[in-house]
Amino acid sequence: MEITIFTIVIVVLAVIILMRGVVIVPQGYQYTVERFGKYVKSLEPGFSVLVPVMEQVGRRVNMMEQVLDVPSQEVITKDNALVKVDGVVFYQVLNAAKASYEVSGLKNAIMALTQTNIRTVMGSLDLDELLSKRDEINARLLAVVDEATEPWGVKVTRIEIKDITPPADLVESMGRQMKAERDKRALVLEAEGAKQSAVLRAEGARQAAILEAEGKRQAQILEAEASKQAAFLAAEARERQAEAEARATNLVSDAIAKGGVQAINYFVATRYTEALEKMASAGNHKIIMMPLEASNVIGALGGIAKLAQETFKE
């Protein structure tokens, strides 16, 4: 009976020892293996077997990207402004052995390193630069902290400054400054608009004056052209009248040369009769005094009749 109990105990202890040698590593983790307290290897995710008693799991390291909150701290800027700053750090363990044995308290080390560099980087900038160059600050912090954590087998993937809180009186001053700047921009835009409006009005007036002058010039050109055309037509009419008069004079001269005194009497009588007709047709004459001898008119008419008789006889 005693042998049976002893055998059972031995079997149970052997099973327990064997079970302790079986290790299952979950996805996203690596386990370090220590042999008599010394690091031997790292176990990848999956099923692994250790040598019982001699080997054991040392550290269980999370290999996934992790987020570390950086608590708020006060920073004095280059222009002596006191601001409160907080942020977050994204990091990932690349080497489980270094992260386990090269540094004690990995998270605390990364936290302290980040806070120190935040004070260093942001303390070298003015408040205006601090508020306007957040991306540049993040880049500088990432470069410094990532380089410092490389010996620990850690890759810092991102550092983000979440909030920058200036003092209340400084925020009020910044609000007044922003309002003044906006009022200034509004006045500048209003003045620019008035300037543009004045320029456009002046340009419109100039264009109107140019068009008006052009219209007057065209009118003067057309008027001069019309006057020139009228003068040409009048000259042509006078020329034709002169030609007609010259032709008539030639005809009369020929008639005188051929008809003698009767032609002269005809010409004189015609002119005389035309003059009497004009005097009689005037609207401002009621009574016409004619101190003329009737015999002269009768003689002239007789000359006309005789001339006509001779002409028709021929």
For residues 110 and 69, the answer to whether their CB atoms sit within 8 Å is no
Write down the pTM of the prediction: 0.54
pLDDT grade, residue 303 (50/70/90)? Answer: low
Pairing of strands 29-35, 55-62: antiparallel
For residues 40 and 60, the answer to whether their CB atoms sit within 8 Å is no
Between these two residues, 60 and 270, which has the higher pLDDT value?
Answer: 60
For residues 115 and 73, the answer to whether their CB atoms sit within 8 Å is yes
Contacts of 126 (CB under 8 A, 6+ apart): 77, 78, 79, 81
Owner of token pair 């065209």: 218
pLDDT grade, residue 294 (50/70/90)? Answer: very low
| Per-residue CA distances from 307 to 245, 271, 274, 285, 299 (Å) | 22, 16, 19, 34, 12
- Give dist(CA 132, CA 297) in Å, integer: 122
pLDDT tens digits for 140-157? Answer: 999 999 999 999 999 999
Q: Which pLDDT does position 287 carry in this prediction? A: 57
Q: What is the mean pLDDT of residues 264-278?
A: 64
| Buried/exposed code over 204-224 (b: 16+ C-beta within 10 A; e: otherwise) | eeeeeeeeeeeeeeeeeeeee
Pairing of strands 22-25, 55-62: unpaired
Of 81-85, 138-142, 261-265, which gets the smallest average pLDDT?
261-265
pLDDT more than 90, % of the chain: 28
Owner of token pair 């068009």: 211
The count of other CB atoms within 10 Å of the CB of residue 82 is 13
DSSP state letters, 224-255: HHHHHHHHHHHHHHHHHHHHHHHHHHHHHHHH
Q: Which pLDDT does position 274 carry in this prediction? A: 66
What mean pLDDT value characterizes the chain? 80
- Give dist(CA 102, CA 3) in Å, integer: 51
Say if residue 77 is exposed, middle or buried (CB neighbours under 10 Å; 0-12, 13-18, 19+): buried
